[in-house]
A and B are shown apart, each in its own frame.
Chain A
Amino acid sequence: MKPSIYEDSRDVFLDTVDAKDYIQLERISTIYQVLKDSIKKPFKMVLLYGKPGTGKSMFLSKLHESIASEQKAYLYKTPILDESEFYKTLAQDLYEIRYDGELNFTQFMRVVENRELVEAIVPVIMLDEAQLYSTIMMEKIRLLSDTRKVKFVIALHKTEKEDIIAKEHFQTRIWESIKLENALPSELKIYIQKKLMKANCIDTASMFTPKSINLIHKLTDGNYRDTNKLIYTLFDIYHYYAQNTPNKIKRNEISAKIIEMAAIHTGLINA
């Protein structure tokens, strides 16, 4: 096994949101299908929620990639917190209208109401990290979706605040509500191995035994982001040993010691 294999394996787990890195897991595929179907249904809004690192951003990214070729779909990965800027961006993307001055909610509503749908297909706006939008802003987004001229897919963290938002603004109008959860150990194993095999790192993929997967799951609680961070560090340590003291590492399976060292480094273990 070449020492560079660890380097390659490490880079697979860089924490990036790229639809190309999307890993098809059975449960996730089902959820994704529900989300995709909900876009076609006459829902005004779709709510996608879950703890940080459960793959909401990846879902939105994958959905955007999937439907962008068929209909108008825009993904805003970071919230546009300035209200005028938000309407101006929407006007630009949806209707290709450029506003130099201020654009307020009333003006933008008028624009939206006066526009006719092309082939009766409602354009989709995807808002990631929607918990950062103010309550008033969320109310206005809800009013925009009521026009049925634009559909919103909102991804937000599941916290108390988000619950309030869901209750106060969306309860009667929604729609579809999809919850994302952490991976089970079996899912985590598939996730890690598929990710490695996708990058042609078959040797390192076979190093993950059920024991090491269980330990990783215990440390990360099946959280995809934490798992990515942990395995990135894990292969970084392996890379170091392979270059400096190769006799210290086993090449047939992932050592629990190195998993724990990676967990200490990433802060998953408080040593």
Chain B
Amino acid sequence: MLNIHELENKHKKYKLKSFAPYLVILLSITIVLISILFFLLYDLGSNTELNKSEQIAQKEESQREENSTSNLTQEKNETLQKEISIPEIVKEVPKTEEVTEAIQKKVLLSPSLNFIKSIESQAPIYKEKVHKTAAIVEQQIKKPIQKKEEILLPAVEEVKESMAIVEKTGSIDIKRRDEEVDIKHVIKRFNINHNPALSLFVAKKYYQLEDYEQAYNYALATNELNNDMEASWIIFSKSLVKLGKKEMAVETLKKYINYSSSSQAKQLLDEILSGKFK
């Protein structure tokens, strides 16, 4: 005799059992897809924020660059308009030599090459210009010294141009003031949105302006906001060294290397330990 009710219950159980594996697979696929989507959206969000801040910083830099180049061209034009005789140039040659020597000294005092590479991407271009002009002045001025009598008019013009640029580099204080205004502007923005990209930017700027204490503070703030930013740890450690806290810098770098195995951090640590970076 059939017990239909029992049979129906058994059938329900059987159906549930047979659908269970499909349900599990479907659920796991859904969970995986949702998590992938979530991570993708999260990544996109953070990237766009970073990109925005970077773009703003780049815009500001390009504006500054434009201003400086327009100033330079104006001055160039002014200098070119003046009629200059060859003996006068010869008289001025020692002046340029003095300036180049000063620049060379600066180069000697600047941080290691690796440090320059690390900040090269975000460093203001006018600095590079200064280095470049220094190199140009070196190359082009040495020639007139050696061949004073053979100086031709185009060469004289070049020397004049470089002179103007060198004179321009003499007005670095004015630039720095602009820089400070910019930094304050960025700091204001940072205080509003606490974006680590902005604080890192400020830290770098202060480091370039040799205000190591501020560079240290902003690098620290950046690390607190995001402890995965290699550049921030590098600036932080460098600032510490510059502030005379070499041991603390070494310790910090070691911890960071353990955490991230960053090659740049390793290099800096080696340089600090070997005394290359002071």
Contact = CB atoms under 8 A, between A and B. Distances in A.
A90 interface: no
Contact of A265 (B7, B13, B15): B7
A271 B2 contact: no
Contact of B14 (A236, A240, A264): A264
Contacts of B14: 260, 264, 269, 271
Contact of B13 (A237, A241, A271): A271
Contacts of A257: 11
A264 B7 CA distance: 7
Contacts of A236: 2
B17 A265 contact: no
A161 B13 CA distance: 39
A237 B4 contact: yes
Interface string A222-239: 000000000001001100
Contacts of B2: 233, 236-237, 240, 265
A159 B10 CA distance: 33
A271 B11 contact: yes
B8 interface: yes
A32 B4 CA distance: 40
A261 interface: yes
Interface in B1-39: 2, 4, 7-8, 10-11, 13-15, 17
Contacts of A264: 7, 10-11, 14
A264 B10 CA distance: 8
Which of A233, A244, A257, A264 counts the most B-chain CB atoms under 10 A from its CB? Answer: A264
A261 B15 CA distance: 11
Contacts of A241: 4
A227 to B, nearest CB: 18
A253 to B, nearest CB: 18
B7 to A, nearest CB: 5
A246 B10 CA distance: 21
Nearest to B8: A261
B4 A271 contact: no
Contacts, number: 29
Interface in A204-236: 233, 236
Interface string A143-167: 0000000000000000000000000
Contacts of B13: 271
A269 B57 CA distance: 71
Contacts of A269: 14
Nearest to A239: B2
Nearest to A258: B11
A212 to B, nearest CB: 16
A128 to B, nearest CB: 31
Contacts of B17: 271
A261 B12 CA distance: 9
B4 to A, nearest CB: 5
B86 to A, nearest CB: 106
A257 B7 CA distance: 11
Interface string A247-266: 00000000001001100110
Nearest to B4: A240
Nearest to A257: B11
A142 B160 CA distance: 126
A165 to B, nearest CB: 40
A50 B7 CA distance: 33
Interface string B96-132: 0000000000000000000000000000000000000
A237 B7 CA distance: 10
Interface string B34-73: 0000000000000000000000000000000000000000
A236 B14 CA distance: 20
Contacts of A265: 2, 7
29 contacts: A233-B2, A236-B2, A237-B2, A237-B4, A237-B7, A240-B2, A240-B4, A241-B4, A244-B4, A257-B11, A260-B11, A260-B14, A260-B15, A261-B7, A261-B8, A261-B10, A261-B11, A264-B7, A264-B10, A264-B11, A264-B14, A265-B2, A265-B7, A269-B14, A271-B10, A271-B11, A271-B13, A271-B14, A271-B17
Interface of A: 233, 236-237, 240-241, 244, 257, 260-261, 264-265, 269, 271
Given A237-B2, A240-B2, A264-B14, 12 more contacts: A236-B2, A237-B4, A237-B7, A240-B4, A244-B4, A260-B14, A264-B7, A264-B10, A264-B11, A269-B14, A271-B11, A271-B13
Interface of B: 2, 4, 7-8, 10-11, 13-15, 17
Per CB-CB distance, the 6 closest pairs between chain A and chain B, nearest first, are A271-B14, A271-B10, A261-B11, A261-B7, A264-B10, A240-B4
